[in-house]
A = this chain, B = another copy of it.
Amino acid sequence: MESAQFLDILGNKNRRNILQLLASRPYYISEISDRIGLGQKAVLDHLGLLEQSGLIRSKTTKQRRKYYHITENLKLEVFVSPYSYTVETSVVIQQPSTQTDQMQPSDQAGGSQSIKLLKQLNKYLFQLESKRRQLAEKQCKVEGEMIDIMSKCIDMIQETAQNNPEAEIMTELLKHPQDKRSLSINLDLPEYFLEEHIQSLVDKQIIIKREKDNKKIMSLL
């Protein structure tokens, strides 16, 4: 799914409530309507939109009851700062855990065997959650350092650039080395207008051009 579509979906409180509900088990319409306190017609509209996006699907039981369930493992990350706006949606792929390969219930396993196994798996789940948190904290620190460097760079660009277009070009290249066409799109400025400023920055050896995949990529490095 596109990030924009995912954000549009998540931008509605009722849809968030429906997703939260379906994340515990499949539900049918009147149950959802009761639980989130919203009329069935409105619930149906939201479910239709969610189904269209591929995020949920329905399955009708023998008793002709239509159950809705989540089908995807989607992760969305948004980062907003004075220097960056990034939105990323990724599919998390189920990873067969090697650690738990031996933890299969034997064929003759009774109820108590299953419960023992469930407890072992739950313990391992908490270990993974703590590992996930540690990685998230490390990532947060790196991002905090990036903001610091970024703010220093922006100060230095303000000092070095001779006019606004130069500063905008340098700021854009600071984030991603790119060619003239991308620069024109990202800055919403025509290429003929950029050319003279690019040339001036090249002359001052502030930006460097490199040939890559038949494109002239510019960077500050």
Contact = CB atoms under 8 A, between A and B. Distances in A.
Interface string A114-126: 1101110111111
A35 interface: yes
Contacts of A132: 139, 142-143, 146
16 contacts: A23-B83, A24-B171, A55-B80, A69-B82, A72-B81, A74-B78, A75-B77, A99-B145, A114-B159, A118-B160, A119-B220, A122-B221, A125-B146, A129-B146, A135-B138, A135-B142
A132 B72 CA distance: 25
B25 A73 contact: no
Given A80-B55, A128-B145, A4 B25 contact: no
A13 B5 CA distance: 10
A10 B13 contact: no
A90 interface: yes
Interface stretch (A38-46, A148-156, A192-200, A209-217): A148-156
A144 interface: yes
Contacts of A221: 119, 122-123, 126
A137 to B, nearest CB: 10
Given A8-B11, A77-B76, A148-B96, A121 B156 contact: yes
Contacts of A30: none
B125 A149 contact: yes
A182 interface: no
